[in-house]
């Protein structure tokens, strides 16, 4: 199974609810409704995903999303939707509109895999769903990006963000960007404003960004509107592009109705800012003789790169739903295609980090068994001999796993939501010999990790 899929499944918090869908020409779901995350349901997922029927065809995500949104929300369980896709769809607008319609009850985090993924779909779903969009191509590792979005999903969102202005009488302000409805910790957003009017060189104004956080009202102020010298028009064109995009969306929503002059506004703004739009085009000019290039317009079909079949998923946070996209001859697990009627090719040696991740239980602990000792690079005898007498096997195994992560895989620390869950499980055990286990574990593994670094 792919590393990113495994990471995401193993990192879900205890007490959440989840489901898994597969979609291609049609869709399937593993459970009739969202089920509570536990060791039993997690193991059931790993088995059932392999049994999903392959169906090579168009990527049709709309019906699976409709079924997901039709499921009732569970009180005190905010929904998070994770979408992974490597293809194009023919109904991007309908999918984005569906996400927008349900944006008040969930956040949507989307992932585009490979060169063939639809950027309009990925960016549109994340934007309208108040989530975050990620793209991976070439040799990019998906795990860090998946974990970054998962961290966003697990953080409370900042809502009711407002911007107020204190300006000289001669200056007016126009908002060019859509309003920000939600913002997660670690996420950023850009808001473009247009200031109109003329003031003296010594004139100042201010604006305040106000939002509630942890039952407190936060206010951040910035001052001075004096423009930078020789700043160019880059920022102006970015702002124009943002406004053009918003107007294009408005024109699309009004298709077949009176658009209220939206198209004319887009054309005027596009020409003034020299930023292309869906209603304008720019003529190529030969710079050597400054003449317009003549000739008929030619339509060229540019093929997109065909990525390998990739495991896909879609899911909510406290109600997680994962979508797995099948392929004709099987499912792609970690780069090795599992065939339906052919011999399974010889697998390369497993990554110790992925092996350790796969052994963690849904509760957050590890069991002391030969598979864990092999992942740690030790024998059963060495591990058993070093175990403090009063320590339980689960506490000892979990502390060893945490020490190994901190001692040998610090470069992957951003992907350690499973380590947070393990530390939480250890604290809940209220074990009397944690310090002794940490000291013994450091000696066994040849590390020098402090107890505080483990979150204990």
Give residue 337's pLDDT: 25
Axis crossing angle, helix 92-101 with helix 62-70, rounded to the nearest 10: 10
388 Cα distance to chain centroid: 41
CA pair distance 439, 441, nearest whole angstrom:
5
DSSP 157: P
Reported confidence tier of residue 305, pLDDT bands at 50, 70, 90:
very low
Asked whether the predicted pLDDT for residue 444 surpasses 90, the reply is yes
Residue 238 backbone zone (phi > 0: left; psi -120 to 50: alpha; other: beta): alpha
Q: What is the pLDDT of residues 389-441, one digit of tens each?
A: 888 999 999 999 999 999 988 887 777 778 888 998 999 988 888 999 999 99
Tokens of 123: 């960016």
Report the chain's terminal Cα–Cα distance, integer Å.
31
Distances (CA, A) of 72 to 15, 41, 127, 228, 320: 17, 20, 23, 52, 13
Give residue 397's pLDDT: 93
What is the pTM for the complete model shown? 0.61
Question: Which has more pLDDT, 282 or 128?
Answer: 128
Nearest in space to 453 (alpha carbons), one of 399, 412, 415, 411: 399
DSSP 180: P
Q: What is the pLDDT of residues 245-261, one digit of tens each?
A: 888 877 776 666 666 68
Q: What is the pLDDT of residues 201-221, one digit of tens each?
A: 666 777 888 877 666 677 766
Q: What is the pLDDT of residues 37-89, one digit of tens each?
A: 888 888 888 777 666 554 445 567 888 888 888 888 777 677 888 888 877 77
């Amino acid at each position: 199974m792919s590393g990113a899929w495994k990471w995401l499944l193993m990192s879900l918090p205890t007490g959440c609810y989840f489901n898994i869908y597969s979609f291609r020409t049609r869709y399937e779901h593993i459970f009739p409704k969202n089920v509570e995350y536990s060791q039993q349901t997690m193991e059931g997922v790993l088995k059932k995903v392999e049994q999903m029927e392959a169906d090579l065809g168009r990527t049709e995500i709309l019906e699976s999303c409709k079924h997901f949104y039709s499921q009732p929300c569970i009180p005190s369980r905010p929904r998070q939707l994770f979408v992974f896709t490597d293809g194009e769809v023919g109904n991007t607008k309908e999918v984005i509109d569906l996400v927008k319609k349900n944006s008040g009850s969930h956040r949507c985090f989307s992932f585009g895999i490979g060169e063939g993924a639809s950027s309009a779909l990925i960016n549109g779903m994340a934007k309208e769903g108040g989530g975050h969009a990620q793209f991976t191509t070439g040799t990019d590792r998906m795990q860090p990006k998946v974990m970054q979005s998962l961290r966003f999903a697990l953080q409370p969102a900042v809502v009711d963000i407002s911007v107020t202005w204190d300006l000289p009488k001669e200056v007016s302000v126009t908002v060019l960007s859509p309003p920000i409805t939600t913002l997660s910790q670690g996420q950023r957003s850009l808001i473009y404003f247009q200031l109109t009017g003329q003031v003296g060189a010594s004139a100042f104004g201010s604006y305040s960004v106000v939002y509630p956080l942890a039952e407190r009202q936060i206010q951040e102020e910035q001052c001075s509107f004096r423009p930078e010298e020789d700043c160019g028009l880059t920022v102006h064109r970015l702002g124009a592009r943002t406004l053009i995009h918003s107007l294009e969306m408005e024109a699309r929503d009004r298709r077949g109705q009176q658009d209220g002059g939206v198209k004319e506004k887009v054309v005027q703004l596009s020409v003034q800012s020299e930023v292309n739009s869906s209603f304008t085009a720019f003529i190529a000019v030969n710079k050597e003789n400054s003449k317009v290039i003549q000739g008929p317009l030619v339509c060229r079909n540019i093929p997109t790169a065909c990525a390998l079949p990739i495991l896909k998923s879609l899911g909510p946070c406290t109600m997680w739903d994962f979508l797995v996209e099948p392929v004709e001859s099987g499912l792609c697990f970690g780069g090795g295609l599992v065939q339906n009627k052919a011999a399974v090719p010889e697998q390369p040696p497993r990554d110790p980090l992925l092996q350790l991740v796969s052994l963690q239980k849904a509760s957050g602990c590890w069991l002391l068994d030969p598979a864990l000792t092999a992942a740690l690079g030790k024998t059963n005898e060495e591990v058993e001999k070093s175990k403090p007498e009063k320590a339980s096997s689960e506490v000892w195994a979990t502390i060893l796993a945490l020490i190994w992560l901190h001692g040998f895989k610090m470069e992957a620390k951003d992907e350690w939501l499973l380590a947070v869950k393990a530390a939480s499980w250890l604290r809940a055990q209220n074990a009397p010999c944690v310090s002794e286990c940490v000291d013994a574990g450091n000696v066994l593994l040849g590390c020098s990790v402090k107890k505080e670094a483990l979150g204990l």
